[in-house]
Structure 1
């Protein structure tokens, strides 16, 4: 049973106990969970984040205390019909006894990013899509909704793909939350095009405070930070004079913080959920969700302070799924653009097949979000056929690595720059005996691969050092470990279990 702090005690702890160094701050939601948005219903908090090119779309987490979180599902198990890719920046909102999620996706007809909206009577399931609400220029992303004395407003980023200043735009929103009213207006303009997005608004003592992310969001060369400006009217002008900017920047073992939203606890205190990269694991764990407390200085400018996560995080260290038993919900993800997995538990195994683009030899990758860089994954393949069946660490179709059983051979394969190579292979002794496979991902961004049938593990990694897989991460998300199938329709892979064991604490 998880211990739940009362609201007042929680705020007193979070705001008074500051880490001696920022390295004591751990991710509240570890692993790839960018652009988080948060909402509270009673004593429960719900957070939703970017899924980008992973399906299902937009993971949803729940917490009773803002510290320990568990996934409950996804916004969409199937992509809305108007969408094609780039599922970014979902925004939670509650209005008229209805839960809204405003989200970004690329439109199928022309590839332009638009903002759509879905609604439900529940915060974490049952959402119905209503289609596009904002289609503006070459790109509309990063929705945020604000209620100003009963009038709804929606804001978004525009002109990021145009040869003109980036702007944060706003518009009145209809009372049902499903359409714009009137003409858009400018809240803030980025004349230098240094990057400006991921905005949220708070109102206090007659001022509207606009928090926004500046710089480059993603990848090794990121420069994200959170800044604040304020105005006497929601339409602006927003000024930064007097603000201690940036209000959130690189801190201890975390870098490039940004794109957050606020939630108020039952006592009326505000917290800011945002994402950042862990400097140790960097892009291999993606942008992870952290929480900061909000306080106000005597000059009425805000201050954000990252807060430490209490307790142990060992509950996330070892996950074991035995497919001969009821495993409960496993939140698998896959590259929905290039594959359609078909998987089910049957006859004591997880049977995996599906379809995929024949020009991309990675096959079907059924994966999980990693919480840290250093881990070991293992499985046992229980069937024998011509298909490749095994483990994978998957970045995208042009960057992946895995170990597979194919007929009577075990092979270590790598796809780099879209080209597949077999780096090691070995004959197995008995074709009808389960083959155990293991991949070890190491903190130096190398991996090692092993196999066995009986006796001890045999390594298949070439050379004396681990194989360098630093090429795996896509620019905006982390690679994912999991199970792999490479075969024709009618073939399948059968696995008796899947195990992921983190070989060190989740990075601090």
Structure 2
């Protein structure tokens, strides 16, 4: 079954494929794709969520839901990045208090370390006014969460980023001033990493009140790409000042058959039932699709703790096809760009004109991916492209696989760790009005590029598939990008973009036809 989902731009189309998930105890996908560190709050009859955007801009997507399961994209907290921050936009905690919406977030201060900042809006849709950084420790400050103590006093809870300098990671709290632009009084410690399973850190604390206790959900261990060991623990106290007691059965949520490294999230209630909206890696997709948004139900137990419940049901719709014909006058908000390099572009008359830059990775705009088996293609008009223009798989500004067209030549380039581009393959083509370049990805591990001068017959650019392991650094998810390389007086011209999920039978056909050769 497929559906057509309209956005604010008629040219931007998403087809959704519904599929039944294998029953998994306690965990269900509700935010497919790269949605790390989700936070959620109920405002009226609607749940609002935001997630990390790391070094992608715009920063902090906003999503809305009536049931915690089906989420709609509603924009970004920061369409333009705050002046004081330069990178690492992580861990937004969206909250509603005193008639306003406040988002506490982490970012790296220009010329400095990680800080906690806050933004305010009158309604969850925004616009948001940035109030600047409110906590900047020498080791870095991250993962802020606001909470009121028993007497109603508002406090800020956060993590000191000690693991970045080989030290413990205490969780601190301090009273917020009335304008929420700073803290007052001396900070006090809730707890830190001291249990064997917690390894090098505790972080991502979110706190909820139930009965006579405050319960702190927290993430512990470590996460380095495919070796991510995140798990979730719980601690409780009768008041914020403690003492805090960690559950002896921790971790309460850890890797299962499908979902690995369940971590940073927020507890939330709906119709008298309790849920934890958090991130996790799908074992089948690993870091290729990133940390996805997962909903896990839990109940409070008679001994004053909590237990996660078995939960069967459908996963959220997974986009089967995404297209953009560029017939609006601006890019759809689902396109992202590097926080370090804002691209210059123009959209008109069914074309995206992207100004190039003379860096190894070039200028690019990018889309999330939702599967490890996909096809992504772009059509270009050679006569209108003065820059080296094409499609790419991007991890960050240092790591990229790009297939580009310039003049009568189609080329495949690998850029790893910011080094000089390495040419993997090239083909000369006949003069034509339009060229389609397609990247085919299998299992998130290797890619083959094809091209067409008539839109129907495709030819292989590279004979042997390219390994994609060089793209998967830390926990960064992969993006599909449109790229322009050259001096700033040159332009790439794109006419149509599409990504689609490759079905298993398609993969088998490609293997039989030799597009992917089976490896022994």
TM-score by length of 2: 0.87
Q: Is the 8 A contact 1:56 1:74 kept in 2?
A: yes
Aligned to 1:37: 39
1:74-133 superposed Cα distances (whole Å, 9 cap, x missing partner): 1112221111111111111111111000111111132x1110110001213300101111
Matches within 5 A, 1:304-323: 304-305=308-309, 307-310=311-314, 313=317, 316-323=319-326
Pair 32,38 (structure 1): closer, same or farther in 2 beyond 3 Å: same
The aligned counterpart of 2:269 is 264
Task: Give a deviation string over 1:172-191, Cα, whole Å, max 9, x none.
Answer: 12333332121100100224
Instruction: Report whether the alignment pairs 1:350 with 2:349.
Output: no
Deviation of the 1:482 alpha carbon: 2.1
Give the superposition deviation at 1:312: 6.6
Q: Within 5 A, what are the aligned runs for 1:467-506? A: 467-504=466-503
1:426 lines up with 2:427 in the alignment: yes
Q: Distance in 1 between matches of 2:347 and 2:192?
A: 53
Once residues 345 and 26 of structure 1 are traced to their aligned partners in structure 2, the CA distance between those partners, rounded to angstroms, is 38
Which one of 266, 272, 279 corresponds to residue 275 of structure 1?
279
Find the counterpart in structure 2 of residue 143 from structure 1: 144
**1:240 and 2:242 equivalent?**
no
1:259-307 deviations in Å (ceiling 9; x for gaps): 1112222x34332110001111101011111011121122121112364
1:496 positional shift: 1.2
Task: State the 1:71 CA deviation.
Answer: 1.6
Aligned residues of 2:30 and 2:315 also touching (Cα < 8 A)? no
* Residue pair 1:263, 1:270 contacting (<8 A) in 2 also: yes
Compared with structure 1, are the counterparts of its residues 308 and 79 closer, same or farther at alpha carbon in structure 2 (3 Å cutoff)? Answer: farther
Cα contact 1:210–1:238 (8 A) shared by 2 = no
1:354: how far off?
4.8
In structure 1, the residue matched to 2:413 is 413
Deviations 1:311-363, CA, capped at 9 Å, x for gaps: 7725x1111212246798341112221x22122321221211254xx4x3110
Inter-partner Cα distance in structure 2 for 1:386 and 1:372: 33
Distance 2:396 2:167 in 1: 32
Paired residue secondary structure (1:403): strand
SS in structure 1 of the partner of residue 403 of structure 2: strand
Q: Which consecutive unaligned segments of at least 5 residues does structure 1 have?
A: 3-18
Distance 2:276 2:65 in 1: 15
Distance 1:199 1:62, change over 3 A: same
**Is the partner of 1:160 in helix, strand or coil?**
helix
Q: Give, in whole Å, the separation in 1 of the partners of 2:210 and 2:396.
A: 45
| 1:324/1:496 contact within 8 Å kept | no
* Unmatched segments (≥5 aa) in structure 2: 5-20, 505-520
TM-superposed deviation, 1:308: 4.4
Aligned to 2:133: 132
Partner of 1:211: 217
The answer as to whether partners of 1:387 and 1:407 remain within 8 angstroms in 2 is no
TM-score, structure 1 length as denominator? Answer: 0.89
Q: 1:400 to 1:321 in 2, by over 3 A?
A: same
Match of 2:7 in 1: none
